[in-house]
């Protein structure tokens, strides 16, 4: 065991993290930094080979540096072997994907197959901590599954605990969020297990909130559902502002001064995307239907978000006089800034719609060029005359009739409007889909501004 003192507190456990996706790799690197001996485990051999060489298979600021340092110190390693990584682990964290089924319900097949693999191998008194977002009650299901495997395989009964340890990190700031969390949420009941998990997280100096696994899992869904609802709410108010001439930016300033409300986290725009909000809201909405709560708020929230981009595109289409044969610069392809993640990105709805309507699209993203190419190709959208991903903003906006700012990357929030206006065609439009620009400023360069809620 490594014995490193971090901020005066020792954290020196053997941890195996199953699933080297976003949450798995970030958690592995951070727990290794805290002085633990961490093994990242995945069945994807290519991914593990890359990680062993210090290569992160997606873009996340500061992650690769942390990965390399902790690997060099000997605190972090990666493997595809359950036999190697499970028997030595004091804590097994499960961070596998839990995609939604067609019905909206969470698909737990990867979680259950990892339980199949670890059960014959884990040591006495191991803590199995579920980091993946799963429905309340999953810890009991997993516990029952382990007992039935032990019985079927005639393995001597071992002591183990299944707990919930949800993750609240945001893509783009994941390393910082994990090192400086607002809180640590521990869903467990055994006092010894709680003490171990508190010790593990102690170096992070964040308040630890302890509750039942069901409450912890419900809390994770609730946090995401609340933030998603907040975004949908302000978008609804923005739509009303557009009808009556009020300005949503001013409205947010006014309501934000109320300390109960706050000005943060509700710029109006295209609705929420990414790997968490759409999926988690759908899962809660589907759960509400299943338990007979058909008037649950999350059902219309999910529907509003699913339909938002299509409705906005129709609204923009009317304002620009149709998309047909128009040259459109699409600025920003990832689902948000500082990531190359294309999951539920607004661009994946906007670009196909523009192409379908006969526009000529030149798209640009500061980081997501490769992942966007892969996404569009797999959706059957090939690059050619109608659609190209280009390497600079200038190339995207050259001779464009319409500029769409789809993602608020820093580079795209501070465009040189003077320079850009000279590259655009005459009577061009600038559609500010993330509410980052002032109408007056854009229009002072002779370009028509179209915003949301203004």
Assess contact for 98 and 22: CB atoms under 8 A: no
Q: Which of 135, 274, 332, 451 binds ligand UDX (CB under 6 A)?
A: 274
CB of 274 to ligand UDX, least distance (A): 3
Residue 413, number of CB atoms within 10 A of its CB: 13
* Residue ranges in 198-227 that form contacts with ligand UDX under rule CB under 6 A: 224, 227
DSSP 271-328: ---SSSHHHHHHHHHHHHHHTT-TT-THHHHHHHHHHHHHHHHHHHHHHHT--TT-EE
Give the contacts of 295 (CB within 8 A, at least 6 positions apart).
none
Q: Between residues 82 and 266, which has the closer beta carbon with respect to ligand UDX? A: 266
Residue position matching structure tokens 């419900």: 218
Rounded distance between C-alpha atoms, residue 68 and residue 28, angstroms: 12
Q: Between residues 173 and 388, which has the closer beta carbon with respect to ligand UDX? A: 173
Q: Is 403 in the site for ligand UDX (CB under 6 A)?
A: no
By CB under 6 A, which span of 7-15, 92-100, 190-198, 271-279 interacts with ligand UDX? 271-279
Locate the DSSP E strands across 124-232: 126-130, 160-164, 184-187, 208-211
Q: Is 169 in the site for ligand UDX (CB under 6 A)?
A: yes
By CB under 6 A, which span of 102-110, 169-177, 383-391, 443-451 interacts with ligand UDX? 169-177
Residue 310, number of CB atoms within 10 A of its CB: 12
Rounded distance between C-alpha atoms, residue 350 and residue 359, angstroms: 11
Q: Which of 139, 241, 276, 404 is catalytic?
A: 276
Q: Is 168 in the site for ligand UDX (CB under 6 A)?
A: yes
CB of 146 to ligand UDX, least distance (A): 27
Q: Is 62 in the site for ligand UDX (CB under 6 A)?
A: no
By CB under 6 A, which span of 46-54, 102-110, 146-154, 274-282 interacts with ligand UDX? 274-282
Q: Which of 42, 60, 171, 340 binds ligand UDX (CB under 6 A)?
A: 171
CB of 226 to ligand UDX, least distance (A): 10
Residue 105, number of CB atoms within 10 A of its CB: 15
Rounded distance between C-alpha atoms, residue 16 and residue 386, angstroms: 47
Q: Between residues 327 and 336, which has the closer beta carbon with respect to ligand UDX? A: 336
CB of 429 to ligand UDX, least distance (A): 22
* Residue ranges in 14-43 that form contacts with ligand UDX under rule CB under 6 A: none
Assess contact for 25 and 40: CB atoms under 8 A: yes
Whether 276 is a known active-site residue: answer yes
Which residues are identified as catalytic? 276
Binding site for ligand UDX (CB under 6 A): 167-171, 224, 227, 231, 265-267, 269, 272-274, 276-277, 335-336
């Amino acid at each position: 065991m490594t014995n490193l003192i971090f901020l005066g507190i020792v954290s020196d456990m053997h941890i195996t993290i199953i699933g080297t996706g976003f949450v798995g790799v970030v958690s592995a690197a951070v727990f290794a930094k805290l002085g633990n001996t961490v093994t990242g485990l995945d069945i994807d051999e290519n991914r593990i080979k890359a990680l062993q060489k210090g290569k992160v298979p997606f873009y996340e600021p500061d992650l690769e540096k942390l990965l390399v340092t902790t690997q060099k110190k000997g605190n972090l390693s990666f493997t595809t072997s359950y036999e190697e990584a499970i028997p030595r682990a004091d804590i097994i964290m499960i961070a596998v994907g839990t995609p939604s089924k067609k019905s909206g319900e969470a698909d737990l097949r990867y979680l259950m197959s990892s339980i199949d693999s670890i059960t014959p191998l884990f040591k006495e008194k191991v803590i199995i901590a579920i980091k993946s977002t799963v429905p309340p009650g999953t810890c009991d299901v997993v516990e029952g599954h382990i007992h039935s495997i032990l019985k079927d395989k005639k393995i001597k009964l071992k002591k183990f605990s299944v707990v919930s340890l949800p993750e609240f990190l945001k893509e783009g700031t994941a390393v910082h969020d994990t090192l400086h969390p607002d809180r640590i949420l521990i869903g467990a009941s055994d006092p010894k297990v709680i003490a171990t998990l508190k010790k593990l997280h102690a170096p992070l100096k964040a308040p630890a909130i302890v509750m039942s696994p069901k409450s912890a899992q419900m809390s994770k869904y609730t946090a995401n559902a609340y933030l998603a609802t907040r975004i949908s709410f302000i978008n609804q108010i923005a739509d009303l502002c557009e009808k009556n001439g009020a300005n949503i930016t001013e409205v947010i300033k006014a309501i934000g001064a109320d300390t109960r409300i706050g000005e943060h986290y509700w710029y109006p725009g295209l609705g929420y995307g990414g790997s968490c909000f759409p999926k988690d809201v759908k899962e809660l909405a589907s759960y509400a239907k299943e338990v007979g709560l058909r008037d649950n708020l999350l059902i219309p929230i999910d529907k509003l978000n699913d339909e938002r981009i299509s409705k906005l595109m129709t609204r923009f289409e009317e304002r620009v006089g149709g998309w047909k044969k128009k040259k459109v610069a699409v600025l920003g392809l990832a689902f948000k800034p500082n990531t190359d993640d294309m999951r539920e990105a607004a661009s994946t709805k906007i670009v196909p719609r523009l192409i379908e309507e006969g526009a000529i699209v030149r798209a640009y993203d500061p980081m997501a060029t490769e992942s966007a190419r892969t996404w569009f190709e797999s959706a059957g959208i090939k690059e050619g005359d109608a659609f190209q991903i280009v390497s600079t903003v200038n190339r995207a906006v050259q001779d464009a009739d319409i500029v769409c700012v789809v993602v608020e990357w820093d580079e795209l929030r501070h465009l040189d409007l003077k320079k850009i206006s000279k590259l655009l065609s005459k009577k061009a439009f600038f559609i500010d889909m993330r509410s980052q620009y002032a109408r007056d400023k854009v229009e002072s360069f002779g370009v028509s501004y179209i915003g949301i809620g203004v």
